[in-house]
Amino acid sequence: MTVTETPRSPLEDRQHHAENAGRVGAGAFNARQLWLSLPEALRKLNPKHQLKNPVMFVVWAGSALTTVFAIVEPSVFAILVAVWLWLTVLFANLAEAVAEGRGKAQAESLRRSKKETVARRLTEDGSEESVPGVDLRVGDLVVVEAGQIIPGDGDVVEGIATVDESAITGESAPVIRESGGDRSAVTGGTTVLSDRIVVKITTKPGESFVDRMIALVEGASRQKTPNEIALTILLSTLTIIFLLAVVALQPMAGYSGKEQSVIVLTALLVCLIPTTIGALLSAIGIAGMDRLVQRNVLATSGRAVEAAGDVSTLLLDKTGTITFGNRKATELIPVGGSTMDDLARAARLSSLADGTPEGRSIIELIAANHGLPETAGDNEKLAEFVPFTAQTRMSGVDLGDREVRKGATSAVRQWVRERGGAMPDETERIVDEISQQGGTPLVVAENTAGNAFVRGVIRLSDVVKPGMKERFEELRSMGIKTVMITGDNPLTAKAIAEDAGVDDYLAEAKPEDKMALIKKEQEGGRLVAMTGDGTNDAPALAQSDVGVAMNTGTSAAKEAGNMVDLDSNPTKLIEIVEIGKQLLITRGALTTFSVANDLAKYFAILPAMFTSIFAQLGALNIMHLATPQSAILSAVIFNALIIVGLIPLALRGVRYRPSSASALLRRNLLIYGLGGIVSPFLGIWVIDLIVRHIPGIG
C-alpha cells in the first residue's frame, strides 16, 4: 500500500510558511525585541566575546581608552564621546542579540515539543521491554501504537500508520509513514494516530533532528562561512589602513602646533573604520539561518545556506516538483468506427472501479464533457473489476459477455489480437503524437460476444504547476541553469521540459546518471543543488553542493544531504536558493553602504576638525559644523545610531529581486552606495544642530 501526500502550490506553501513563522515566534522585528535582547547585549560586552569580531574589538578598546581619559581629565566632550562609543559597542551586540533572540524563541517552541518518553524496545527473543527513550541506541527496534509518542528518530521497518507531526512541522494534517518505501522516516517527538509500527532507531540520544534544530536556531552550532571569514579579513584590513591614516594625522597636527587629544583620535578612528557592517555581520548570518528555519528547513551549517546563494545549477525532479505528479485525463480520441459517445461510455465503464488518480480523472472528464454519471448504476455494480497489474499493464471490467479494457498500447494490442481483433493504424499514429507532446496515451478496447475492437485513446497529461515557467525564467535571469530529472522516455521528457521552461532535462534517469550529471556540472565550476528522498538519491545528495533531503525520506538520504526539509515539499529548493541569494545580497548591500558611509564621514568631519589649522579647509566644511568638538561628537553619535537603524534591514534582509550580477551591482551602488554617502552628511548635520548647544561642545 502506498499513500502519497499531495504537494502544495507555491502560494499555499508560502501561506504555510507564514503560519509556521508565527507558530515559532519569529514574528516581524519590533522595538520590544530590542528591549528584551538588552540583557544579552550587555553580557556580550565581555572582551572574550568582542575578540571574535576584530572591528568591534577595536571599538571596545577605544571605548575603554576614552573612558580612562574621561576619568583622568573629565570634560563634557570626553564623557559624551566615551558614552557614545560604549553605546556603539552595545548597539552592535544588540543586533546580534536580537537575531539570536528570534532563534531562541523558535528553539523554545521546539524544546516544548520534546517529550521524555518510555520506549517499548524489542529484545532478541521478540519480547518487549520498557526503557527510557534516552537509553535507546542506534539499531534498536521499538514498537509504537496509536496514541503513543515516537521515542526517537528512525525508519519504519514494519507496518503502516498515520502520524501527527504538527509539533515539529506545524502542519496539522496527519501524514502516512510506512515500511519499505521512501516515506519511512519518522521523527522523535511526533505522535502515532493509528495502527502499529516498528521503528528502527537511527540517531543517538541528543543528536535527533529536533536537538540539532534547537542547537542551530540558538546559534550554538553556527560557524562563520567562507565568505563571512573573507569579509572579516577585508574589514580587519580596512581597520588597519584607517588606523594608520589616523595615526598619520597626529604628526601633521603637531607640526602645525595643534596636536589632537587621544580622545579625538580614538573617536575619529571609530568613525572611519567599517563599524556598520562589522556590527551587523553576525546578525545577517544568523538572520539568514532564521529565515530557513521559519520555512521548516534544517541546515547542518551556515556554509550550506551560503552555498545555496551561489548555486548555478538546479536539479529538479519532474514529479511533484515541476508537475503535480498525478496525471489527468484531458482528451478522448475515438478511432475506427467508434463515436465519441461510444468511447466515453466504454472509458467510463472501465474506470468506475478504478481508484487511482488517473481513473478518477477519467470519470470527472466524462462527467463534465458528456454528462454521464460519476457513480455506477445498479446493473454496472454487478460488473467484475479487473485491477491493473505490472504484468498485464491494463485494467477494466467484465460485465456479462462484455469485456472493456484500458491500458498501455502494446498490452491492449496483444489483448485485442488474442481475441481475434486488430488495432487500427490510426491508433498508433495518435499514440505517437500524444507521447511526442508529453502526454501518456491509454488505449480503450472492448470485446463483445467475441468481437474485439479498439474504441479509442485517452490522453493523460502530466500537468505543469502554475507559475513554474515564470519562476524558471527568473532563475535564468540570475544565471541559474535548471535541469529536470525524470524517469520518462526522452520524447515525453522533452515535451514537458519545453512546457515547463527548464533549460535542460535528463530522461530515464538512474542514480548513476544523476551522479554523472552533477560531477559534469561541478567540473565546469558550477555549484549544484538538488532534492531527494530515497536511499538511491543519497550518493547524488552527498555529491551536490546543496543537497536537500525530504523529511519523509530515508535516513540515508537525510544523512547524505546538508539540508532537511521538514515539510517534504520538493519545490522548496527554489525558495532555499532565493534565501541564500538574499543572504548574500544583504551582506553585499550593507557592506557597500558601510564602506561608502565611512568614506563620507571622513570627508564630512575632517574639514571641520582642521579648519583652525588649515583655513583653506573651511571651504570644504559644507555642512558648517560648529566646532571640531561638535563635528567629532556628531559623527560618533551618528555612527552609533545608524547601527540601530539598520538592524531591521539586517534581520529582514534586502528585498530579493531576480537579476543579473551587473544589474545587482548597479542597484547596490545606486541605492546603498549613494545612500551611504548622503546619509552621513544629513545625519551629522542634523545632530550637530543639537549638540552645538551643549556647554563645552559648541
Burial class of residue 126, CB neighbours in 10 A (0-12, 13-18, 19+): exposed
Provide the pLDDT for residue 63. 94
Q: Is the pLDDT of residue 24 over 50?
A: no
The model's pLDDT over 612-626, given as tens digits with 9 standing for 90+, comes to 566 666 666 667 777
Provide the pLDDT for residue 453. 92
The model's pLDDT over 236-265, given as tens digits with 9 standing for 90+, comes to 898 898 888 888 877 876 766 667 788 888
Q: Is the pLDDT of residue 392 over 70?
A: yes
Arithmetic mean of pLDDT, 14-34: 46
With CA atoms as reference, report the closest residue to 332 among 299, 369, 358, 302. 369
Confirm whether 317 is a catalytic residue: yes
Q: How many Å apart are CA 187 and CA 210, to the nearest integer?
A: 8
Which residues line the annotated binding site?
A: 354, 358, 388-395, 406, 533, 537
Ramachandran class of 450: left when φ > 0, alpha when ψ lies in -120 to 50, beta otherwise:
left
Which residues line the annotated binding site for Mg(2+)?
A: 533, 537
Residues 190/196/197/201 CA torsion (nearest 10 deg):
50
Provide the pLDDT for residue 2. 30
The model's pLDDT over 628-648, given as tens digits with 9 standing for 90+, comes to 888 889 889 999 999 989 988
- Give the helix/strand (H/E) hosting 369: helix 357-370
Provide the pLDDT for residue 532. 79
The model's pLDDT over 656-695, given as tens digits with 9 standing for 90+, comes to 777 777 888 888 888 898 988 899 889 989 998 998 888 8
Per-residue CA distances from 462 to 44, 307, 318, 484 (Å)? 56, 32, 9, 14
SS (HEC) of 462-490: CCECCCHHHHHHHHHHCCCEEEEECCCCH
pTM score, whole prediction: 0.66
Q: Out of 155, 211, 317, 499, which one is annotated catalytic?
A: 317
> Across the chain, what does the average pLDDT equal?
81
Provide the pLDDT for residue 533. 74
Provide the pLDDT for residue 360. 85
Q: Which of 184-198, 583-597, 635-649 has the lowest mean pLDDT?
A: 184-198
Residues 6+ apart with CB under 8 A from 335: 424, 426, 427, 430, 454, 455, 456, 457
- Give the helix/strand (H/E) hosting 258: none
The model's pLDDT over 354-378, given as tens digits with 9 standing for 90+, comes to 777 788 889 999 999 988 888 888 7
Residues 6+ apart with CB under 8 A from 296: 17, 20, 169, 170, 565, 566, 567
SS3 162: strand
Confidence of residue 15 (pLDDT cuts 50, 70, 90): very low
Confidence of residue 89 (pLDDT cuts 50, 70, 90): very high
Block residue for cell numbers 561628537? 633
Residues 581/583/588/593 CA torsion (nearest 10 deg):
130
Strands ordered across the beta sheet of 297-299: 297-299, 563-565, 546-550, 528-532, 313-317, 481-485, 504-506
Q: Is the pLDDT of residue 559 over 90?
A: no
Confidence of residue 152 (pLDDT cuts 50, 70, 90): confident
- Does residue 113 or residue 642 have the better pLDDT? 642
Q: Is the pLDDT of residue 160 over 70?
A: yes
Amino acid type, 420: G
User: What are the residue ranges of helices labelled H in 524-656?
Assistant: 538-543, 555-560, 572-610, 628-652
Answer whether 181's CB lies under 8 Å from 139's CB.
no
Which residues line the annotated binding site for ATP?
A: 354, 358, 388-395, 406
SS3 204: coil
> How many residues appear in the chain?
698
